[in-house]
A and B are shown apart, each in its own frame.
Chain A
Amino acid sequence: SAVISQKPSRDICQRGTSLTIQCQVDSQVTMMFWYRQQPGQSLTLIATANQGSEATYESGFVIDKFPISRPNLTFSTLTVSNMSPEDSSIYLCSVEQGAGANVLTFGAGSRLTVL
């Protein structure tokens, strides 16, 4: 299965700043997914990143807050903009693999704390 390198693994950020999370996959994939897990909540899909087109955002998430880049088939970034304490979460990137009932492969996550 694919191996995903994600960084940073954790960071402490000041309110109002922005942080970019990077994910590198060791193989070419069509779609990459960005998830968030707020404390005590479930993993929630933020957006799907496709190479060569704009990301598709889920309800409640907007491009201005979470801009995404997908410059090639092995790399993507997610920026958390103008952070507030409510953005303190674990952010994960993932790819889907398999045939039929696909399985998600994840990066190790980026744990962000916003002060």
Chain B
Amino acid sequence: ILNVEQSPQSLHVQEGDSTNFTCSFPSSNFYALHWYRWETAKSPEALFVMTLNGDEKKKGRISATLNTKEGYSYLYIKGSQPEDSATYLCAFTLNTGNQFYFGTGTSLTVIP
């Protein structure tokens, strides 16, 4: 069983605050790390996919980093807005197959 751990499980932040979450994954046979945003009653939406150690990706106020040697990725949200409220999922894939292994997600609530 390949374990992907996300922390925290949930958090509440005030509008305007910056926040970050962690995704930990097994570092052996790594191929790619994915972040998805899942708003209630909507489809999970792909945010980032990263493959190389040290990768950094950015999309507006959201950015992510990747450390494949130690097996973690951070997702950062700068100046959180209520529309950022969602569950953020990470998933990784191995270089030995194409199955996605998901974490349980971090549920973010941004309070206006």
Contacts and interface: CB of A to CB of B under 8 A. Distances in A.
B43 A43 contact: no
B43 A109 contact: yes
Contact of A101 (B51, B102, B104): B51
A101 B93 contact: yes
Nearest to A9: B41
Q: Is the interface of A mostly helix, strand, loop or mixed?
A: loop
A106 B43 contact: yes
Nearest to B90: A42
B82 to A, nearest CB: 21
B32 A42 contact: no
Contact of B44 (A40, A92, A100): A92
Contact of A106 (B31, B44, B51, B99): B44
Interface in A76-104: 92, 96, 98, 100-104
Contacts of B32: 101
Q: Which 3 A-B pairs have the closest CB atoms?
A: A101-B32, A43-B102, A106-B43
